Structure 1
Amino acid sequence: MRLHTNCHIASATISHIQRTALCNSGHLSSVPAALPDNVEELQLNYNHIQTLRDNSLLRYPSLNTLSETSHALKTLPGLRALDLSQNALDDEMVATLLENLTSLEYLDLSGNLMQRLDETSFRDLPQLKELDLQRNIMYEIEGAFDSNPKLQRLNLAFNYLLCLTDFHMTQLVVLNASHNFIEWFITRQNLNDTFQLETLDLSNNKMLFFPFLPDHSHLRTLYLSHNSVSFYEHLADNSSYPNSTTTVEFYNMKKYTGNVTAQLWDESLHGDISSVEILDLRGNQVEYFPNGFIQKMPALSSLQMCTNCLESLNLTAEQFSGSLYELDLSNNRLSQIVADRDALTALGNLTYLNLSLNNLERLPSGLFSSLQSLRSVDLSYNNVDICRPEDADTGTDTSSACADWRDVASLKQLHLKGCNLKIMPASAFSGLSLTHLELSNNPGLVVRESIQSLSRTLQHLGLGNTQIQDVDFSHLQSLESLNISSNSLAYLPPSILSLNLKVLDLRDNRLSTIPSGQANALATKLHTVFLTGNPFNCCQTEWFSTFETTKTMNMVGQSGIECEDLIQMTHRVEHPQSFICLEKGGESIIWYILLFVPIILSFLGILAIVLLTFRPTMLQKSIKKNCLKPTSY
């Protein structure tokens, strides 16, 4: 049974059906204020409401459905910004809602259910400058933006687009088409206009080829990470690949161009990249750079090549410009890097160099000493040793089996994890002012006095999994972060108590407890501590209470810190009720039981032997009594 109630508010007739308020076609200019506070659905279709203020609906805490038709929007020709995100709108709904919004400049349609756009989708929005269409289910956008000549920022991320083969939006400044299924990006042929595009994001797609960019553009940032991009110049060599094709054909190129046949690698395909400053090619399949490719980017400041298939790199031939600031070649297959003095001198502005996770055994002679702007170097997981004074560069060899960065005053961060280092030369860091030194995962490493020269500057030191046992850290008075995890430490090095550490990593050692004095000292300084993976004694966990009650300290993975009781059962330290320790000093009564049981058993065994030795007749009588009883028959 439905109950209908009518009342007059602001010249509108409002009908309340159960918990639904019908306020349609009422000439309302604001949300009614006198509805029942338990209303769950409110319909305000065909009214004149222009703004929903922050407090408009606060008086209706049970409201879960609000309906306003496009009529409310049609009466707002001056509207400039509209957010319709997360409304489950399909293509037709959006088309209806956008009618007559000729002044709209910003439109957010993200998180809806739009599938296909065409030339009618946004034709009434000539002033549109920014459009967000991310996280829909779009698979086609043919001609959708031809009526938006002022559109500058377009977000198409997280959709189902398969290709962008007719890019001709010369006015666009930012295009985000990441996280789709795009295989091709091709600019419309025979366009002489200069594209205003500055940022193009095609990351996380299915691209096999470098995008075919405009012939004239202002492109500065190009994101291509996590695709399958490779270069195929080598396939054009008929002598090496006599049966391979040297062309690729593109069909169905819309009405503007016919079928396109292009050379498999042609310099005109990658277009104008002369203004590119950031090129992100992480997570692709690049084995080499085509001839002259790097030279076409004189403004390049950051090249991200992590996780590709590079086997060698010739810095002399590639001719990187002096604008290069960051070079990341980590996680490739590099076995050699070739460079002469001139090439290294040209890289005078290189500040961040990452060569980790490669197969390097030799480096160009004078590599680091020539790069006087270096602040961070990562050589982790290579087989390059550290030069000793007697290994000084004689100037005759073009490559060296060791690395020498002595007296590079700008160097602040040095990462040498997993380099199979054993003995660190005393002069390894002379002339440096390092703030971060990472030496973890070098089992058996002997640092000795090599880090003494860093006592004034070193702030982070990584010595995890190096088998250190007793290292004096007291001279490192600037140290704020220390990693000594995975070292089988049975106790804390006393020297760390004199430091003003903020971060301490003690994971995966053999600590059974942390004495109260040490715990109290650390609690006043540490901000972050890592303790998981240690066999703590459940009956000596006062340190945990000290750390837990220190509001300025964060025990990372606190729920994973475990302890063992005396019968080697494992418990969470944060649950003291799960284990019992009765003695004030931290010893369990079980300890005494386990101690005296073998003594009692031993005593009983000795007593039995004595009785059987001196009174053997007892055994015979016992046997006769129990085993030689006469039978009843």
Structure 2
Amino acid sequence: MIRPTATTIRSLLLLCCSLSHSLIQLNTGTGRLHDDQQEPTSLRFKNLSSVPEGLDVRLRDLDLSNNFIRHINSQGLGLPSLLRLTLSYNQLEIISEGAFRDVAQLQELNLARNALSHNVDSNSRALGSLHRLRSLDISMNGLDDKAVELYLHNKSVLEHLDLTGNGLTRLTAKLFAESLSMRSIRIENNLITAIEEGTFETLKKLKTLNLARNNLVYICDFKLHQVKLLNLSRNSIEFFVTREDGHPYELEILDLSYNNLLYFPMVPKTNQLRYLHLQSNMVGALETDTLISEADSLYRELTSDDKVKDAVENNNVYSNWRLMPLVYMDLSSNHFRSLPLETLSHLTSLVTLNLSKNCLQDISYNTAKGCSGHVGCYRQPPLTLPSLRYFDLQNNGLRQLSTLFLEALPNIETLNLKENSVRPCDPKDQLGPSETMRENSPTNMSSCVSFRNIKTLRHLDLQDNGIKTLHQNTFERTPLVSLNLASNVDVILNSGALEGLQSSLQSLSISGNNMTTSALSLPCLKALRRLNMSDNNVDVLPSTISCSPLTELDVRNNGLTSMNESLVDRLSLYLHVLYVSGNSFNCCDTKWLEAINKEKVKIPDLDHAVCLHVNGTLLTGFLRNHSLHCSLELSPKITELNLGQITIIMLFVSTVLITLVVFVKKVCCNTGSFIV
């Protein structure tokens, strides 16, 4: 009987392992790839001049971008499982006709930033073999209209196309005739001046269309019922008109920013528009009445048919807006000198309105326009923005917002009045109960704004308004959560200016106001979490902040030399972050800093903080290791003091000894003489 040796056993174990590995490979061959082969293979920035040979045939995702590949030959890639191929940022100009014959499964191809304007016929035939291609990026290749048409030949299942940065000048119906499955098309930054009728209408699955950065001048008959997102920003569009055809439109996002619009876009009655971007146009250059009448005339001229009568109600083409579910509108950087409230009031769903960087000065109006108060006068429903919550009026010339106007915003939460000339009213000077009846009378027009009794307002920004005084009870019965009073140079907070905010205010900024300690009157704000009092002339922190559960305190660039230790102890209970740079602290009077460090409060700018040394020198970074530095500074003084004392003692002892020696010597001499 043959006994198995150790070598035999080891050989059998190796054979079993080999068989197991072979079985795993067999399973893989039946269609399941290893997990590591599922991951993308990146060969970016490898200085490759051709597609490398010997790649794993199981690859599904290959990235060859940012190399120097100029030619893909007819031998093919030899990657039958490949689904995604990236060849962007190469120098590719020749794709041989059989180059893609063995990548029949390819679904996504990125050829951006190459030289595909060369050899278009040959290259397009090579791409024509990719029958399953769903996403194609041929952006930034210098392609003209004809070249793009060839590259899109035989792309019946193509869904996503990127043509950004090419040289297209005119879009025709033939361009997408063989690509009826398109869902998103991006043709940004070309030279398009015209779009032929029927170009996109046949693309029934199209949802996203980006035509930004072209040379389009007008859209006079928008008919894309199926599109949900349309980007026409940064063209030269003067008007956007949709013919009323009775069919519903699915458009949800329309971007017409950075154009030359004089009018609001004219959209169909039945639409789903929710986000409208109109910033940086010329809307508002015409007075409101002129704008509406000219828009009506333009609409009638461009859509002269029987349906116009139904579309233009009460001679106002924008009356259809009342059916529009718009929640966001950006009208910043336009030319409004007055608020087009009559038009905007149709937008009953509007939540966010941006009118920053316009030319608005006074906002006031009569709630019942066209009614003079005489007997039999018909009072129209008041003009309101019932759903508006966020209103941005930054950087206008505003001096007044009437109480009636603020009452027309029944759900306002955030009001941005930064960089205007708004002066909060002194409650003592305001009108009595009949204020709302008399406010718009020419004799009662006020140049201030009342912020009292706005029960929904939570966030108010009054930065850089030139405010000089905040009077007592300025924000009474207005439960603000955040208040920005920064950059109102030399403003004085009168006693009780923030009265009524004790239980609601969580964030307060009074930075950049050139305030001194005496001009700063803060009540006990029991909800305050963030206080920014940087860039002032405060030399002592107000004691009232100790009752606030501050998590963030900014005292940069003030006149502080130290901080009250007991105040800091109380603040440290809640404080997370403290900013202190730009003050002139005493280098060795830092008990406040020890208390802060004990509670592990973060001081991000401590290395940049400056302190004043006893010798008059300003030191940076000293406070980081103040204990060590101060002990080292005291040591030489102690040594110097001890040496002085020792020297005096030694001199005294020496004098006594010398005197004693002289005395003894004299006594001895006298005694000797007597004996003799």
Aligned equivalents of 2:490 and 2:192: distance in 1? 53
**CA 407–165 in structure 1, closer or farther in 2 if over 3 Å, else same:** closer
In the alignment, is residue 275 of structure 1 matched against residue 323 of structure 2? yes
In the alignment, is residue 123 of structure 1 matched against residue 177 of structure 2? yes
Aligned twin of 1:397:
438
What TM-score comes out, normalization by structure 1 length? 0.63
Gaps of 5+ in 1: 11-17, 33-39, 55-63, 238-245, 258-265, 321-340, 591-633
Aligned twin of 2:191:
138
**CA 449–393 in structure 1, closer or farther in 2 if over 3 Å, else same:** same
Root mean square deviation, CA, Å: 5.6
Q: Is the 8 A contact 1:101 1:124 kept in 2?
A: yes
Query: Where do residues 200-215 of structure 1 align in structure 2 (5 Å cutoff)?
Result: 200-211=254-265, 213=267
In the alignment, is residue 458 of structure 1 matched against residue 505 of structure 2? yes
Secondary structure of the equivalent of 2:438? Answer: coil
Query: Where do residues 616-627 of structure 1 align in structure 2 (5 Å cutoff)?
Result: none
Query: Where do residues 565-580 of structure 1 align in structure 2 (5 Å cutoff)?
Result: 573=621
**What is the identity, as a one-letter code, of the residue corresponding to 2:239?**
F
Aligned equivalents of 2:147 and 2:599: distance in 1? 56
Aligned twin of 1:174:
228
- Looking at secondary structure, tell me which structure has more helix per residue: 2
1:154 to 190, 209, 217: 209
Deviation (angstroms), 1:539: 7.8
Aligned twin of 1:25:
75
Deviation (angstroms), 1:161: 2.2
Q: More deviation in 182-191 or 537-546?
A: 537-546
Q: Is the 8 A contact 1:133 1:156 kept in 2?
A: yes
In the alignment, is residue 199 of structure 1 matched against residue 253 of structure 2? yes
Aligned equivalents of 1:454 and 1:234: distance in 2? 39
Query: Where do residues 284-323 of structure 1 align in structure 2 (5 Å cutoff)?
Result: 284-288=334-338, 293-294=343-344, 297=347, 300-316=350-366
**What is the identity, as a one-letter code, of the residue corresponding to 2:231?**
A
Aligned equivalents of 2:194 and 2:597: distance in 1? 56
Secondary structure of the equivalent of 1:478? Answer: coil
**What is the identity, as a one-letter code, of the residue corresponding to 2:251?**
L
Aligned twin of 2:492:
445
Deviation (angstroms), 1:372: 5.2
Deviation (angstroms), 1:206: 3.2
**CA 430–270 in structure 1, closer or farther in 2 if over 3 Å, else same:** closer
1:424 to 471, 482, 499: 471
**What is the identity, as a one-letter code, of the residue corresponding to 2:200?**
F
In the alignment, is residue 228 of structure 1 matched against residue 278 of structure 2? no
Aligned equivalents of 2:592 and 2:567: distance in 1? 9
Q: Is the 8 A contact 1:535 1:564 kept in 2?
A: yes
Aligned equivalents of 1:140 and 1:403: distance in 2? 48
- Looking at secondary structure, tell me which structure has more strand per residue: 1
Aligned-residue identity in percent: 22
Aligned twin of 1:240:
none
Aligned twin of 1:475:
524
Aligned equivalents of 1:545 and 1:195: distance in 2? 66
**CA 161–229 in structure 1, closer or farther in 2 if over 3 Å, else same:** same
In the alignment, is residue 501 of structure 1 matched against residue 550 of structure 2? yes
Query: Where do residues 403-418 of structure 1 align in structure 2 (5 Å cutoff)?
Result: 403-404=449-450, 406-417=452-463, 418=465
Deviation (angstroms), 1:269: 6.9
Aligned equivalents of 1:228 and 1:86: distance in 2? 31
Aligned equivalents of 2:528 and 2:208: distance in 1? 46
**What is the identity, as a one-letter code, of the residue corresponding to 1:206?**
N
Deviation (angstroms), 1:207: 3.1
Give the paired residue count.
517
Deviation (angstroms), 1:482: 0.5
Q: Which has the larger radius of gyration?
A: 2
Aligned equivalents of 2:538 and 2:252: distance in 1? 54
1:584 to 618, 622, 631: 631
Aligned equivalents of 1:65 and 1:199: distance in 2? 32
In the alignment, is residue 555 of structure 1 matched against residue 604 of structure 2? yes
**CA 160–203 in structure 1, closer or farther in 2 if over 3 Å, else same:** same
Deviation (angstroms), 1:125: 0.9
**CA 192–555 in structure 1, closer or farther in 2 if over 3 Å, else same:** same
Aligned equivalents of 2:602 and 2:245: distance in 1? 61
Question: Once the two structures are superposed, what CA deviation does each residue of 1:371-403 show, in whole Å capped at 9, x if it has no partner?
Answer: 654434455631341313985334563256465
**What is the identity, as a one-letter code, of the residue corresponding to 1:439?**
L
Deviation (angstroms), 1:126: 0.7
Deviation (angstroms), 1:509: 1.3
2:537 to 450, 468, 488: 488
Deviation (angstroms), 1:563: 6.4
Q: Is the 8 A contact 1:173 1:197 kept in 2?
A: yes
Deviation (angstroms), 1:217: 4.9
Question: Once the two structures are superposed, what CA deviation does each residue of 1:313-336 show, in whole Å capped at 9, x if it has no partner?
Answer: 45336879xxxxxxxxxxxxxxxx
What TM-score comes out, normalization by structure 2 length? 0.59
Q: Is the 8 A contact 1:356 1:382 kept in 2?
A: no
**What is the identity, as a one-letter code, of the residue corresponding to 2:158?**
L
Aligned equivalents of 1:493 and 1:45: distance in 2? 77
Secondary structure of the equivalent of 2:498? Answer: helix
Deviation (angstroms), 1:499: 3.8
Aligned equivalents of 2:169 and 2:582: distance in 1? 53
Question: Once the two structures are superposed, what CA deviation does each residue of 1:62-108 show, in whole Å capped at 9, x if it has no partner?
Answer: xx9999966775444344x4152766463466544433221222334
Query: Where do residues 345-384 of structure 1 align in structure 2 (5 Å cutoff)?
Result: 349-353=387-391, 364=402, 373-378=411-416, 381-384=421-424
Q: Is the 8 A contact 2:527 2:549 kept in 1?
A: yes
**What is the identity, as a one-letter code, of the residue corresponding to 2:356?**
C
Aligned equivalents of 1:52 and 1:541: distance in 2? 68
Secondary structure of the equivalent of 2:366? Answer: helix
Aligned equivalents of 1:586 and 1:9: distance in 2? 70
Q: More deviation in 183-192 or 197-206?
A: 183-192
**CA 106–94 in structure 1, closer or farther in 2 if over 3 Å, else same:** same
**CA 139–576 in structure 1, closer or farther in 2 if over 3 Å, else same:** farther
Q: Is the 8 A contact 2:358 2:395 kept in 1?
A: no
Q: Is the 8 A contact 2:622 2:629 kept in 1?
A: no
Aligned equivalents of 2:200 and 2:256: distance in 1? 19
Deviation (angstroms), 1:180: 1.7
**CA 95–544 in structure 1, closer or farther in 2 if over 3 Å, else same:** farther
Aligned equivalents of 1:100 and 1:376: distance in 2? 53
